Amino acid sequence: MPRMLDVSDDVRAEIGDEEADRLLAGENAPGSYDCTSCRTPGDSEQERTSTVLFIGDETAVLAFAHATCLPSQVVQVTEEQLQGAVRSINPDGAPGQSAPEQAVLGVTSGLVLLGGELHPALVVEPTGPIVRPGSTDIGDDFLPLLIEQGFMPVTQLHSVPPVLHGWSVLLAMGQLHAVLQPGTGGGSPVAWWQAHQALQVAESWRAAANKHQQVLLFAAPVGSIGRQPREDLLRDALDKAAANGKLVAAAMPLAGT
């Protein structure tokens, strides 16, 4: 049965057209899998699935991920990282057991004063370190991964960051639904972050978003911002994160009202 697989041009170039076509036809693709990004179950017969090819010095491993978690891509890793990833997926040749708890992206909305004008902003902070797919390092790659996507490092909050083309913020009936990123191969946008339940935003935030027709997204690693009950405290936390080199930002068009 054909699978709902995305095979990027880069992955196809590495594995060859014949193998790529077999995957798309369902011959060599698993029906169910554990997402290489979020480690939760996926089903390539029921939902869009990305092929992710990890390439080490001597070995290559083809893995699968929810298309909403990762686009289809080739990831260069060291041989040691690759073998570690294989062991974590399939320890001692046995089916993978329980995966470590995954970090969740926490999102806070607020108004940020820049250049004498209030701008609608979303502040994203994970609940734990974000590690590059396939990596066995213990570090936090959240900001480097976002910079690779086009986010800009921020050292001072004094001007509006550049627009990140292809990304957008989905607002409907005054509720925040998702942050969208470009789909693979120029396809439909996919959710980078999606609310489990739509988040109600303040009327002042919605009015500012409709006025500017864009939203500023700030992101910082775990422990940099925290849950701030007031916008002045949120601004103080953003300023501190920026001064410490732990803040990236981008402006995104508003989708919806």
Helices (H) and strands (E) in the chain, counts: 6, 14
Indicate whether 109 and 89 sit together in one domain.
no
Higher pLDDT, 133 or 109: 109
**What SS3 state is found at 162?**
coil
Mean model confidence pLDDT for the chain: 81
Q: What are the structure tokens assigned to 212, written together?
A: 């500017």
Indicate whether 168 and 247 sit together in one domain.
yes
Average pLDDT score over residue span 10-17:
87
- What per-residue confidence (pLDDT) applies to 99? 35
Indicate whether 81 and 116 sit together in one domain.
no
Indicate whether 25 and 64 sit together in one domain.
yes
Indicate whether 76 and 149 sit together in one domain.
no
Residue 98 lies in a domain: no
Indicate whether 77 and 119 sit together in one domain.
no
Indicate whether 152 and 230 sit together in one domain.
yes
Indicate whether 109 and 80 sit together in one domain.
no
Domain closes at, from 93, 113, 144: 93
Higher pLDDT, 163 or 100: 163
Q: Give percent above pLDDT 90 in the chain.
A: 29
- What per-residue confidence (pLDDT) applies to 81? 55
Residue 100 lies in a domain: no
Give the contacts of 41 (CB within 8 A, at least 6 positions apart).
32, 33, 34, 35
Domain coverage including residue 79: 5-93
Domain closes at, from 45, 65, 93: 93
Domain closes at, from 51, 67, 93: 93
- pLDDT tens for 67-99 read 887 788 887 766 555 554 444 444 443 333 333
- pLDDT tens for 189-213 read 888 888 777 788 889 999 999 999 9
d(CA 66, CA 136): 20
Angle formed at CA 209 by CA 208 and CA 213, multiple of 5 degrees: 120
- What per-residue confidence (pLDDT) applies to 89? 45
Higher pLDDT, 247 or 69: 247
Average pLDDT score over residue span 100-119:
81
Checking if the pLDDT of 257 tops 70, the result is no
Residue 184 lies in a domain: yes
Indicate whether 61 and 144 sit together in one domain.
no
The answer to which of 52-56, 80-84, 105-109, 147-151 has the lowest mean pLDDT is: 80-84
Contact 174, 148 (CB under 8 A): no
Indicate whether 138 and 242 sit together in one domain.
yes
